[in-house]
Chain A
Amino acid sequence: MRLADLLLYNAKTLQRHGFRTTMLLIAMSIGVMAVNLLTGLGEGARLFVLGEFSFLGKNTLIILPGKKETTGGLPPITGESPRDLTLADARALSRVAGVANIAPLIAGTSQVSFGGRSREAVTIGTNVHFFSIRKLAIKQGRLLPELPDYQADAVCVLGATLRKELFGAQRALGQWVRAGDRRFRVVGILEDTGQSLGMDMSEIMIIPVASAQMLFNQQGLFRIFVEVRSLTTLEQTKQRLLKTLTVQHEGEEDVTIVTQDALLASFDNIIKTMTLAVSGIGAISLVVAGILIMNVMLISVSQRTAEIGLIKALGASNRTVRWLFLAEATTMAVVGGVLGLLLSESLLWLIRSLYPGIPFIAPWWAKVASLSVAVVTAMVFAYLPAQRAAQLAPVEALMSNRGT
């Protein structure tokens, strides 16, 4: 039988059983849509998080207090360590060969007020290198002054939102704001860069690290950011940093050094695994659709027994009959699958227009995979009914019911 004739013959069958065909197409398209949509959402989330984490340059190392014993996974967010990272450590690190810049970091929250307005804000104590390492730009004014790290200064840089909330339409530069029991003069306003890593940089206050030590009455550093001179010597520099800190900490290796890549890789892994898991759940609906196809095909075979007998009497071989039914299932899988793809693509488009910041795009392999899984499932599940049809004895089939 010629392929075109086969398709036409099947098209007429499917058209005659319009309701059944529609239901199957819906089931199939939901399956394909689920896989494509979920993969798209997962990929979007992954790319979003990766983007969020690459606020640091590739040549940045992060030093955390406390030793993480196991390899892989995330370092502890708040390191519990008997020995703090100190400014002395930071100073020692800045002398290590291959280090370009060092930014110590103390973080906390404080009550920031100006005039009658008051607000709780994340306050970061650091130095001028922090801005280049975190890629923060200044909209007005200037950065923190270049001071030795141990020297405090009553100046601050405000995030754009925080500035607006405290000062409204008023000019903020040069004004004094109160934070806790201290006062800081506003020297700069940050460019609004939006959220990054769950921390809204437009709502923070940045002050010199020594001032933060006094404000929070705390010597230990939360993090030290290290910018290395060259990517190629990243690993050597990391080892040298570790050695220096071990010496500083009386021979005990009680810090964790993380590279941006390691951080990204572990996030990447987690989200990829999640995406796969979720798409796998979506694929279950494809299998369900496959089973549905099998059941409907079995019904179809028993309803069309007389027809099968007839076309066998007219000279169709077992193979032709088998192909007829397999092709019917495949046609439905392809049409349903393409519908599902169109549906999921338009949904993703809708979601993208609602959340423009996140790249919800299903990767090409998800489309190929969902469609081919749909077709293969349909063929596998339709094989049994098709085989049953093919093996009907023509005489019994003809006698089974006397149709038109």
Chain B
Amino acid sequence: MIRITQLCREFILGDQVVHALNNIDLTIADGEYISVMGPSGSGKSTLLNILGLLDLPTRGEYQLNDTNTSTLKEEARATFRRGHIGFVFQAYHLIPRLTAQENIELPLVLSGMPPKERRRKVVDILKRMGLMERAHHLPNQLSGGQRQRVAIGRALIMKPDLLLADEPTGNLDTVSGSEVVNVLESLNQEGITLIVVTHDMELGKRAKRQLRMVDGQIVEDKRLDDPASKQPSATLVASEPVKR
């Protein structure tokens, strides 16, 4: 369960204030499948980073599973990320000197789990991602699709409630792209909340709930099971005067 109220994120570029997110209100239920679309610079990635506790809002509240994250300290947010949130990036972000298996194992290693327990979990994930034969290959010995599956495996190993994917198929060809999307969607069917940020209309249209962002605001919030798309309240709120 995610509830965002009056969320703003401002960057200062030179002496100009850029409103990456401008008074966003958003509620996401558990197990939803959401795509976020919009032109470059519309604030999609910023929203995703804030949802993933990688970035902090300038103003506003972000409530995740009944926890108000705005008040959390960095250490606590790290623990929260570890336990509840999985990330999948366009550029995979695998560590090149670690094998597929070790990359998947990394979150467990960081959490200090004993090697015996880790082994079992990693093998489960490897099987699930169809990477058993590739377990001891380095990232540069894997295809793009395989790399992204390693990345998804790594995101899954801590059994997160929320999976955030930033252009997960951006670097992939159609075949491996749809393969990756299938994996992500099957995870969503198991109850994980899935949020996908993408430029790709095809991919975006598959989501049950589609958000469109322009200039830091959500301009469209369309639910597939709810054909009448409604305008979110965010657009109705006048943007606040710039504060320095």
- A314 near B98 with CB under 8 A, answer no
Q: Is B239 at the interface (CB under 8 A from chain A)?
A: no
Contacts of A2 in B (CB 8 A): 109, 112, 114
Contact of A315 among B78, B89, B91 (CB under 8 A): B78
Q: Is A319 at the interface (CB under 8 A from chain B)?
A: yes
- A315 near B79 with CB under 8 A, answer yes
Contact of B139 among A309, A313, A395, A404 (CB under 8 A): A404
- A403 near B93 with CB under 8 A, answer yes
- A13 near B97 with CB under 8 A, answer yes
Q: How far is the CA of A317 from the CA of B140 in the complex (A)?
A: 28
Count residues on chain B whose CB falls below 8 Å from chain A CBs.
Answer: 35
**Interface of chain A residues 289 through 317 with chain B (CB within 8 A):** 306-307, 309-317
Smallest CB separation, A394 vs chain B (Å): 4
Binds A, one of B47-55, B60-68, B183-191, B230-238: B47-55
Contact of B91 among A16, A316, A393, A403 (CB under 8 A): A403
Contact of B89 among A12, A16, A317, A398 (CB under 8 A): A398
Smallest CB separation, A319 vs chain B (Å): 7
Contacts of B114 in A (CB 8 A): 2
Q: Is A21 at the interface (CB under 8 A from chain B)?
A: no
Binds A, one of B80-88, B197-205, B207-215: B80-88
Known: A12-B98, A13-B97, A403-B96. A318 touches B82 (CB 8 A): no
Contact of B54 among A16, A311, A320, A395 (CB under 8 A): A395
Smallest CB separation, A316 vs chain B (Å): 5
- A362-404 interface mask toward B, CB cutoff 8 Å, 1 = contact, 0 = none? 0000000000000000000000000000000111001000111
Q: Is B158 at the interface (CB under 8 A from chain A)?
A: yes
- A315 near B83 with CB under 8 A, answer yes
Q: Is A354 at the interface (CB under 8 A from chain B)?
A: no
- A306 near B93 with CB under 8 A, answer yes
- B97 near A314 with CB under 8 A, answer no
Count residues on chain A whose CB falls below 8 Å from chain B CBs.
Answer: 29
Q: How far is the CA of A404 from the CA of B78 in the complex (A)?
A: 23
Which residue of chain B is the closest to A317 with respect to CB atoms? Answer: B78
- A314 near B107 with CB under 8 A, answer yes
- B109 near A9 with CB under 8 A, answer yes
Q: How far is the CA of A316 from the CA of B147 in the complex (A)?
A: 22
Q: How far is the CA of A393 from the CA of B110 in the complex (A)?
A: 18
- B110 near A315 with CB under 8 A, answer yes
- A311 near B49 with CB under 8 A, answer no
Q: Is A146 at the interface (CB under 8 A from chain B)?
A: no
Binding site secondary structure of chain A? helix
Smallest CB separation, B147 vs chain A (Å): 7
- A1 near B147 with CB under 8 A, answer no
Known: A2-B114, A318-B75. A395 touches B49 (CB 8 A): yes
Which residue of chain A is the closest to B138 with respect to CB atoms? Answer: A404
- B55 near A315 with CB under 8 A, answer no
Q: Is B17 at the interface (CB under 8 A from chain A)?
A: no
- B107 near A315 with CB under 8 A, answer yes
Which residue of chain B is the closest to A16 with respect to CB atoms? Answer: B97
Contacts of B89 in A (CB 8 A): 398
- A1 near B112 with CB under 8 A, answer yes
Q: Is A181 at the interface (CB under 8 A from chain B)?
A: no
Q: Is B94 at the interface (CB under 8 A from chain A)?
A: yes
Contacts of A398 in B (CB 8 A): 54, 89, 93
Which residue of chain B is the closest to A2 with respect to CB atoms? Answer: B112
- B54 near A313 with CB under 8 A, answer yes
Q: Is A5 at the interface (CB under 8 A from chain B)?
A: yes
Q: How far is the CA of A311 from the CA of B90 in the complex (A)?
A: 16
Q: How far is the CA of A306 from the CA of B147 in the complex (A)?
A: 17
Known: A12-B97, A318-B74, A395-B49. A404 touches B92 (CB 8 A): yes
Smallest CB separation, B21 vs chain A (Å): 13
Known: A313-B54, A404-B139. A319 touches B75 (CB 8 A): yes
Q: Is B106 at the interface (CB under 8 A from chain A)?
A: yes
Q: Is B111 at the interface (CB under 8 A from chain A)?
A: yes
Q: Is B154 at the interface (CB under 8 A from chain A)?
A: yes
Q: How far is the CA of A309 from the CA of B49 in the complex (A)?
A: 12
Which residue of chain A is the closest to B97 with respect to CB atoms? Answer: A16
- B94 near A314 with CB under 8 A, answer no
- A313 near B52 with CB under 8 A, answer yes
- A315 near B54 with CB under 8 A, answer no
Q: How far is the CA of A15 from the CA of B93 in the complex (A)?
A: 20
- A310 near B83 with CB under 8 A, answer no
Smallest CB separation, B48 vs chain A (Å): 9
Contacts of A313 in B (CB 8 A): 52, 54, 81, 87, 93
- B75 near A310 with CB under 8 A, answer no
Q: Is B224 at the interface (CB under 8 A from chain A)?
A: no
Which residue of chain A is the closest to B111 with respect to CB atoms? Answer: A315
Q: How far is the CA of A55 from the CA of B32 in the complex (A)?
A: 94
Contacts of B109 in A (CB 8 A): 1-2, 5, 9
Which residue of chain B is the closest to A3 with respect to CB atoms? Answer: B112
Contacts of B87 in A (CB 8 A): 313-314
Contacts of B55 in A (CB 8 A): 393-395
- B100-114 interface mask toward A, CB cutoff 8 Å, 1 = contact, 0 = none? 000000110111101
- A1-27 interface mask toward B, CB cutoff 8 Å, 1 = contact, 0 = none? 110010001001101100000000000
Q: Which of A16, A317, A319, A320 has the largest count of B CB atoms less than 10 A from its CB?
A: A317
- Given A314-B87, A317-B75, 9 new contacts (CB under 8 A): A15-B97, A307-B95, A313-B81, A313-B87, A313-B93, A315-B81, A317-B78, A318-B75, A318-B78
Q: Which 3 A-B pairs have the closest CB atoms?
A: A315-B82, A402-B91, A317-B78
User: Would you mind naming 13 contact pairs between A and B with Cβ atoms under 8 Å apart?
Assistant: A1-B112, A2-B112, A12-B98, A16-B96, A314-B106, A315-B79, A317-B79, A318-B75, A320-B110, A394-B55, A402-B90, A403-B96, A404-B91
